[in-house]
Amino acid sequence: MAILVKTNGDIEYVSPKNDSDFSLSELQKFVGGYIEILPLGKELMVINEEGKLLGLPYNENATARFQNQYGAKSDYIVGNALICSAKQIK
């Protein structure tokens, strides 16, 4: 199970269609475009690679998780973010 952190604050639990790992098209659909993968300790955060260029909305919850890992003055997250285990991405 993975967590989709939406920009409106909603959290949705999602699973890969094949019950094992997410396909590239599934990941792109969750974040609305090209993906970028960020390590978060034992998990990974998948975001839209062009989110800031596209002007996607700020994601407070995903930013808090990211800054918790990298420090309060680190970057920020925009758009929906998927948090999952490394095993769920091949």
Number of structural domains in the chain = 1
Give percent of the chain with pLDDT exceeding 90. 93
Q: Which domain holds residue 12?
A: 2-88
* Sequence-separated (6 or more) residues with CB below 8 Å from residue 81: 4, 5, 31, 45, 46, 47, 59, 62, 65
The average pLDDT across 69-86 equals: 94
pTM of the model: 0.95
23-52 pLDDT tens trace:
999 999 999 999 999 999 999 999 999 999
